[in-house]
């Protein structure tokens, strides 16, 4: 009788040890996961796109050769409580206005990254633009939408890569992308366009996107106040 009781106690203690080990193992696996979920919900980064047609978003500056160029950009601001990791900006859609002033989506356009301002990395081939950046809480980073170079510079050194571009002599608003493709437009000639921009981050749970409408006369002006009547971005 005493032996049976001892065996029963021994078996019970074995099961207690086994279940305790399984419980502790499950905790070791799931506690970090749950903690990360709580962190992402309560302390997640919150990204906002901010824009206004004027300084410091849009301005006249000069290239390295001294030729004038207008840059148009927005800023991405992190209003959250943690760093937004691996953030990238993507130009997702392009819409062009037809003769009836109705916007028609360019279905041949594929999403492509826009360029972060001043964010580069060193490679064996030299400096290249970073695709991903980390944005600290209460920190902002600018991103270029596009630029308009002077008529002289565009004639000499800046041509559209898009093989269907028909208005080859017109002054163009070029998107600021790290790469361009022959298969899709890299610029806007005179007229109206609408673009969709979205910011992606590895740990930002909320969608951050914005539409911009561009009305561009195709006319170059040397003074900012005059140029911002020829091109209006809203």
CB atoms within 10 A of CB 145: 24
Work out the average pLDDT over 95-118: 94
Q: Please tell me the distance from the alpha carbon of residue 78 to that of residue 46, in angstroms, as a whole number.
A: 5
For 123-160, how does the pLDDT look when each residue is reduced to its tens digit (9 = 90+)?
A: 777 778 889 999 999 999 999 999 999 999 999 999 99
| Distance (Å) of CA 51 to CA 154, 176, 179 | 26, 16, 24
Band of pLDDT at residue 16, cut at 50, 70 and 90: low
CATH number, domain with residue 198: 2.60.40.10
Mean pLDDT, to the nearest integer, of 25-38? 56
| Average model confidence (pLDDT) across the chain | 87
Statement to judge: residues 73 and 23 lie in one domain: no
Q: Is there a single domain that holds both residue 56 and residue 90? A: yes
The reply to whether 33 and 115 lie within a common domain is: no
Number of domains in the chain: 2
Residues 201, 110 within the same domain: yes
pLDDT value for 47:
96
User: What pTM did the predictor assign?
Assistant: 0.81
Q: What pLDDT is stored for residue 33 in this prediction?
A: 46
Residue 76 belongs to domain spanning: 47-233
């Amino acid at each position: 009788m005493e032996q049976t009781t001892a065996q029963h106690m021994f078996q019970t203690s074995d099961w207690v040890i086994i279940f305790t080990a399984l419980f502790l193992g499950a905790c070791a696996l799931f506690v970090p996961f749950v903690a990360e979920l709580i962190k992402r919900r309560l302390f997640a980064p919150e990204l906002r796109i901010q824009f206004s047609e004027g300084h410091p978003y849009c301005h006249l500056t000069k290239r390295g050769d001294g030729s004038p160029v207008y840059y148009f950009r927005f800023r991405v601001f992190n209003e959250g409580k943690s760093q937004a990791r691996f953030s990238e900006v993507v130009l997702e859609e392009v819409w062009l206005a037809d003769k009836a002033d109705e916007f028609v989506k360019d279905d041949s356009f594929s999403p492509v990254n826009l360029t972060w301002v001043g964010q580069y990395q060193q490679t064996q081939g030299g400096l290249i633009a970073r695709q991903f950046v980390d944005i600290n809480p209460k920190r902002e980073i600018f991103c270029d939408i596009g630029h308009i170079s002077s008529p002289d510079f565009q004639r000499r050194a800046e041509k559209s890569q898009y093989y269907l571009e028909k208005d080859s002599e017109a002054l163009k608003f070029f998107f600021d992308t790290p790469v361009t493709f022959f298969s899709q437009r890299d610029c806007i000639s005179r007229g109206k366009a609408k673009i969709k921009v979205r910011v992606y981050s590895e740990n930002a749970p909320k969608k951050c996107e914005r539409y911009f409408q561009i009305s561009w006369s195709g006319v170059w002006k040397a003074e900012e106040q005059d140029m911002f009547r020829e091109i209006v971005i809203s």
